[in-house]
Amino acid sequence: MLYTQYVYYHRRNKMIASNKKRRISAVSQVIKIISATAKKPVLKVDLNDEEDFNFIVATDIDSRRKAYELGYKVYNESGYIHNEDKVCVNSFDGGKNVFTLLVETKEGKAVGTVTLNFEAGDGLPCDQIFNEELFSLRKMNRRLAEITRLAIAPEYRTSKTILLRMFHFIFIHAFHNMKQTDFLVEVHPRHLKFYTKLFCFQQIGEAKPCERVNGSPGILLSTSLKYLSNQVKKFRDNKNNGDSKIPRFARNFYGEAAQNKVMAFLKGKDSSWTEEEFEMYRPAVSCVL
């Protein structure tokens, strides 16, 4: 279970310094300020998947709200998060270095979401308990992107498409568009084998209690994006010769033409907040689990 998406104890300076406008008390009020002309950018490319979903970058208030509500639903069911606004947000969501992907059915139902946090002056969410481990990576001039708020609707967890495609999207964006070198993710120790087998993650931090989830243990994992890229190329070039070590991530990757379309679709997009969202989500961000 990912932990970095949970609510932090401390507000960031930008949140504290927000203006003193009258706070909109309910997150449901968000819908009232959505521009009537706002359109969600939806990927228009045939991915040849058995299941048909819309992949959306959460560049508008409505898409972000859907992602936050889905994250809350999934993690609340596990007993890890609770707030009156029923959204899963953290103080990093308001920054300029955040990218949230939303997966919807053709009917518009949110069924999957994942967020990337890129390095900035405020660090990364996992700095809260793994600062020493990150210091070692930064000394080697690694460019780090942290995966947070990964959530799939319960009725779609058997989908063969959603999880892999979300990881393909964030890999393409992080490696090709943002020129990052490594993915980081904070998980429960029981999920280590899953992330190792599917996405070639390796453990770089010992298990530590995470107060944000009632003291449950969390471990820090990393994977090299260059290594993942090489695995994709190796499989495309038919050089694997049945090598079982090729991860499923690479075996199910897009063809080069589709990859380029995905890369162009994602380039230049981010999911930073509007001024209204700073006011709306402030209570949820400052909520202590």
Q: What is the pLDDT of residue 283?
A: 78
Quote the pLDDT of residue 30.
34
pLDDT at 74: 92
| Residues in contact with 116: Cβ distance below 8 Å, sequence separation at least 6, in sequence order | 98, 99, 100, 145, 146, 147, 148, 170, 173, 174
pLDDT value for 201: 95
CA distance 280 to 254: 38
Strands (E), 105-171: 110-118, 144-152
> pLDDT at position 131, please?
92
What gap in Å lies between CA 119 and CA 97, rounded to an integer? 7
Q: What is the predicted pLDDT for the residue at 25?
A: 37
Question: What's the pLDDT at 85?
Answer: 87
Digits of tens for pLDDT over the chain (289 positions)?
A: 544 333 333 334 444 344 333 333 333 333 333 333 345 666 655 566 667 889 999 999 999 999 999 999 998 888 777 888 899 998 899 888 999 999 999 899 999 999 999 998 789 999 989 999 999 999 999 999 999 999 999 999 988 889 999 999 999 999 999 999 999 999 989 899 999 988 999 999 899 987 766 677 889 999 999 999 999 998 888 765 566 678 888 988 888 888 999 999 999 998 999 889 998 988 777 553 3
Contacts of 139 by beta carbon, 8 Å cutoff, 6+ apart: none
Q: What is the CATH number of domain 13-21+39-274?
A: 3.40.630.30
**Torsion on CA atoms 83, 214, 90, 147, rounded to nearest 10:** -130
